[in-house]
Amino acid sequence: METNSKILIVDDIPKNIQMAMNILKNEGYKMFYAKSGQMALDLVDEHSFDLILLDIMMPDISGFEVCIELKNNNKTKDIPIIFLSGKNSSQDISQAYESGGIDYVVKPFITIELITKVNSYVRLKRLEDRFGASYV
């Protein structure tokens, strides 16, 4: 994968951020992290990300609220968002998609699942950026 692709990992639990980074470290991405929804919103103002891995349960702003805010912003609306959560109820999964998420991965991560989904969505984002189409 291209090393200039940027991924933002958003989770209030450092161990979860470290786990995702360890899984993705050999994929060649430039990785950033945020420990809160507000920190994530601040980072997307400073950087252009190819993918966001977003936890649902956070103390300040929920992942759902962060996703809705990103999707309502012209600058960030096309960034694919994969929700990461320990919750796997159909209501949570439905809400993740309804708020604008493109996929959902249940914690603890299955390594190959996370790598495959991340690589696929980053590749899709890069193609959309290159050819000007949006399928996200």
Q: Is residue 21 included in any domain, yes or no?
A: yes
Q: Is residue 47 included in any domain, yes or no?
A: yes
pLDDT at residue number 4: 83
- The residues with which 8 forms a beta bridge, in sequence order, are 32, 52
In this model, does residue 64 exceed pLDDT 70? yes
Contact 100, 72 (CB under 8 A): no
Count how many Cα atoms sit within 13 Å of the Cα of residue 52 in the half-sphere of its side chain: 32
Q: Is residue 136 included in any domain, yes or no?
A: no
Full residue range of the structural domain in which residue 106 is found: 6-131
What's 35's domain CATH number? Answer: 3.40.50.2300
Confidence band, pLDDT 50/70/90 cuts, at residue 1: very low
Question: Where in the chain does DSSP place strands (E)?
Answer: 6-10, 30-34, 51-55, 81-85, 103-106
Condensed to tens digits (0 to 9), the pLDDT of residues 106-126 reads 999 899 999 999 999 999 999
Confidence band, pLDDT 50/70/90 cuts, at residue 136: very low
Q: Total structural domains in the chain?
A: 1
pLDDT at residue number 84: 95
